[in-house]
Amino acid sequence: MMITIPYTIPTIMVISNLVGVAVGRYALGRSDLTQLIASMCFGHIIGVGIVLGLSNMGVI
């Protein structure tokens, strides 16, 4: 059984991760692996919040 995911969800996640990396780079001020991992985690948290919010509102 295949589950279909609309193309908007991965797009939202990619944009959220890019925003998370940009915010993390600005806030932490260093470029190493721990900064990248923390920024990607932050981006995923932002993305999941946006996806859940939009799906509960019926937009997605």
Structural domain contains residue 53:
yes
For the entire predicted model, the pTM comes to: 0.82
Look at residue 30 in the predicted model and tell me its pLDDT: 81
Cβ–Cβ < 8 Å for 44, 17: yes
Structural domain contains residue 19:
yes
Range of the domain at 14: 8-57
pLDDT-derived band at 1, boundaries 50, 70, 90: confident
Structural domain contains residue 3:
no
Mean pLDDT rounded to a whole number for the chain: 92
Mean pLDDT, range 13-42, rounded to an integer: 92
pLDDT-derived band at 11, boundaries 50, 70, 90: very high
Distance CA 40, CA 20 (A): 6
Structural domain contains residue 1:
no
Give pLDDT tens digits for 43-57. 999 999 999 999 999
Cβ contacts of 43 within 8 Å, gap of 6 or more: 13, 16, 17, 18, 19, 20, 21
Asked if residue 29 has pLDDT above 90, the reply is no
Q: How many separate domains does the chain show?
A: 1
Distance CA 12, CA 51 (A): 7
